[in-house]
Each structure stands twice: as C-alpha cells, then as structure tokens.
Amino acid sequence: RLEAAGTGAEADWRARELRRGLLRLGEGQAEAQLPQALNYDRAGLVSFRKGCYTGQEVVARLHYRGRAKKRWGLWQGRLAAAAVPGEKLADADGNACAEVLRCVGDSTGTSWLAALARVEDIGRPLRGAAGEALEPCALPYPVTED
C-alpha cells in the first residue's frame, strides 16, 4: 500500500529512501513503466550484459539504440494536501509536465515527491496541485542523459 503522508520515524525513513534513490511503488505501478523510467539502469539494478527476463529485448533495445524520454525525479516542498499517484505536477507556466509516482511526508512537514517527468524537466522547479512550489532534489546517481 502507498502512504501519502505520515509522521514519525517510519515517515522519515521512507523519505530517506527516496532521497537515496530507492523508489518503492504500489501494486500495479511498476508494471506500467520500463526499467529506464524507474532509473533501474542508473542505479545499477538491471544488467544489460547477462540474464534473461520478460521484456528483456525491449529494455535492451531502448538501452542500446534509444534514450529514455521520461525518468523519475525527486522534488520536495510543503503541500496543502498529500499528492496521490497519478496526480499531475506543473511547470512554471502551469503546463502539466510530471506525474506523481509516490509522495511521502516527513516529521518536519516536508513532502517528498517522486514523479515521472521528461528528462529535460528533471532538475527544474515544479508546482503542486494547489500551486505550491516544489524544489528539485538531486538523486545519488545521474538521471539526465549523457
């Protein structure tokens, strides 16, 4: 089950997981994404040299011939209400440009949002559903394309 917000040690732990680049998705969410969109290749969680798994050909083709157009990035801010998976985030002009995958609130009242966005929008400030400012946060591995 996906927690939208929380307080205390568990919430702080879940927020630390996101800051460390570990994204835990709810039931049915992971199947809708390619490993590259979830940064598995950047975090070293998928190998393109060995193994055999369902969808390997598609994943390898994207790795060797193309580039991921979307990846997950991390933003933080103070939200009026916890964001839910599927909720849209907007750029400075108000255009929807990212989709929330997970939102975790920590004990300080800060919300940490993992969102699927175009690679060029990762690292840019976004806005929440009520117009709240969301600042980008660096992950411990490179997200933008080489």
What's the CATH code of the domain at 126? 2.40.30.160
With respect to residue 92, please indicate whether it lies within any of the assigned structural domains.
yes
With respect to residue 142, please indicate whether it lies within any of the assigned structural domains.
no
With respect to residue 125, please indicate whether it lies within any of the assigned structural domains.
yes
With respect to residue 51, please indicate whether it lies within any of the assigned structural domains.
yes
* Range 109-118 average pLDDT: 96
Give the CA dihedral 52, 39, 28, 77, nearest 10 degrees. 170
Instruction: Check whether 104 has a pLDDT greater than 80.
Output: yes
Query: Which pLDDT tens digit goes with each residue over 77-92?
Result: 999 898 999 999 999 9
With respect to residue 27, please indicate whether it lies within any of the assigned structural domains.
yes
Residues 144 and 122: beta-carbon distance below 8 Å: yes
pLDDT for residue 37: 85
- Split into its structural domains, the chain has a count of 1
Instruction: Check whether 121 has a pLDDT greater than 90.
Output: yes
With respect to residue 144, please indicate whether it lies within any of the assigned structural domains.
no
pLDDT for residue 5: 47
Instruction: Check whether 33 has a pLDDT greater than 90.
Output: no
- Does the pTM surpass 0.85? The reply is no
The mean-pLDDT minimum among 22-31, 71-80, 126-135 falls in 22-31
Q: Which domain holds residue 95?
A: 8-137
